[in-house]
Structure 1
Amino acid sequence: MSIRFTRTSPQVATIAFATGPVNLVTAETASQLAAVVEELENDSQLQVLVFESDIPDFFLNHFDLAHLADFPAPQDGVHAWTDISLTLSRAPYISVGKIRGRTRGGGNELALSFDLRYASLEKAFFGQPEVGTAVVPGGGGTERLPRLIGRDRALEAVLTSRDYDAATAEQWGWVTRAIPDAELDSFVDTIVERLAAFDRAALATAKRMVNRAVLPPDADLVTAYEEFLHTTTLPGYLARAASPAPTGEQALRLEYDLGEFLGLAALRRAAAAE
């Protein structure tokens, strides 16, 4: 299983990501998450949905691009990853991310659709690495991130493909709060307990009212995924995809320091072309 779903009470449920070793977003992740989120649409009691990870050092990583063709087919013109984020943004329950580890690409874009994001100060890192691999964000990074951190910071994050630590993410507004790791569980538990004790209709109505002011248009998110898919057909990406992919320990080390690796790799390619 790529995700673990737990119902701790009628009001509270948890989804944990569990695709070892680095929590890539796979076709199975997308399919299983879409099924759970769809089922919860008809849940009349749920008030808080918590997202966390069972994989140390990785909350939810980027797409498994090598197997992109296996991802669920679009329904009514909307791809599954886009539909999941749209559903979460508008669901009557409150989605809460308890983020430890690296959160990049499609994983970061999913986190951006959560209502609240609490990050481990020491262990959470965020990034949009797509441009560094010759594609573009397709899951809402270019639509949601500028609304949170501003145009120039969003451009820096997207164009440089760097990793950002939790302290910077909090300062910029990328996350709700960065909490010392030893306090993260208890802090989120307190928030969840408080929300679960409130009136469900009031929570849902307040969320809907705030949404009117800040959510990007659905059509922009749908278009973004199509633009992402298009870039996977262009020469820049195809040339990189044709190169031998690292394996084993080398691949694992790359995922730990992906933001730094992408910058160094680009500089090496530029130097070789001179």
Structure 2
Amino acid sequence: MTTETLTVDVVDEHRWRVVVDNGPTNLVTPELVRDLHATVERIVAEPELKVVVFESANELFWVNHFDLARIKDFPPLWTDAVIKLSTAPVVSIAKVRGRARGGGDELLLACDIRYASRERAVVGQIEVGTGILPGGGATERLPRLIGRDRALEAILSADDYPAELAERYGWVTRAVPDADLDGVVDALATRLAGFDKQALAAAKRQVNRATLPPEADLHAAYQEFLASLSFPGYPRRLGGLRELFAQHGPRLEVDLGPLLGDIA
């Protein structure tokens, strides 16, 4: 299945690849949210499916932040999609090359296992640096993965984290040399696809009981994100971002995390 923003490659009845390809910087747009939600619904409903690998067609961006210029067009589907992905009776593996910031990082956090290219993966939560709040799950999931202090550092600093540091924190499961990333992910997906689905799903449910945030908290965070768009500091930070774009052009998205600190 190919949609406007992603392609589902059915490797076999037990394994799928979901490849995100949404324009030059893989922004989370209303179209991507709709396509992702529909794909997660298919994942949940497929009786023989055991493993899904999420990856990107873009070498610089795994999945990027929300396209805030179109926030009024977003369907209210994001939180439902990431909750269903985390609770699906299917193992989701993120294979990360490029940047996963904001909403993209929150999709990463909703996956069960996260393998990142040591040389090319970058993660981060940029929202506070733009004058708003995260709303897609980072404030609920990151503290459970990396601890309160490191989650505060990551969210408040709005900076980029390279794969090796993210691995040390526990943000990603493993940082793998880029040349080995495809083989490592394929080997795990193949191994899991050979196991019994009932055992895989039941084991995941057990771990979920101890680790997943309450669904109500995820819904509340999205509403707080929407409310933060009316913070008085947000328009000022947007003006600073426009000035940065005038200086750096399209390269701004590549170096966005560090450059947020340059906004006056």
Q: Normalising by structure 2, report the TM-score.
A: 0.95
Whole-Å Cα distance in 2 between the matches of residues 187 and 241 of structure 1? 40
Match of 1:143 among 140, 143, 147: 140
Whole-Å Cα distance in 1 between the matches of residues 14 and 246 of structure 2? 42
Instruction: Tell me the secondary structure at the aligned position of residue 150 of structure 2.
Output: helix
Is 1:261 equivalent to 2:259 in the alignment? yes
Is 1:27 equivalent to 2:25 in the alignment? no
Deviation readout 1:201-245 (Å, 9 max, x if unpaired) = 000000000000011000000000000000101211133346683
Match of 1:201 among 194, 198, 201: 198
What is the percent sequence identity of the aligned residues? 53
Letter in 2 for 1:24: L
- 1:151-162 alignment to 2 at 5 Å? 151-162=148-159
Aligned residue in 2 for 1:187: 184
- The gaps in structure 2 that reach 5 residues or longer are none
Match of 2:211 among 193, 211, 214: 214
Is 1:177 equivalent to 2:174 in the alignment? yes
Whole-Å Cα distance in 1 between the matches of residues 15 and 226 of structure 2? 35
Q: What is the CA distance between 1:111 and its match in structure 2?
A: 0.5
Q: What is the CA distance between 1:249 and its match in structure 2?
A: 9.3
Aligned residue in 2 for 1:52: 55
Deviation readout 1:105-162 (Å, 9 max, x if unpaired) = 0000111010000000000000000000000100010100000000000000000000
Aligned residue in 1 for 2:74: 71
User: Conserved in 1, the CA contact under 8 Å of 2:44 and 2:90?
Assistant: no
Letter in 2 for 1:207: K
Aligned residue in 1 for 2:16: 13
Q: What is the CA distance between 1:36 and its match in structure 2?
A: 1.2
Matched length: 260
Name the Cα RMSD after superposition: 1.5
Q: Larger deviation: 58-67 or 231-240?
A: 231-240
CA 8–110 in structure 1, closer or farther in 2 if over 3 Å, else same: same
Q: Larger deviation: 39-48 or 150-159?
A: 39-48
- The gaps in structure 1 that reach 5 residues or longer are 75-79, 270-274
Match of 1:2 among 5, 25, 42: 5
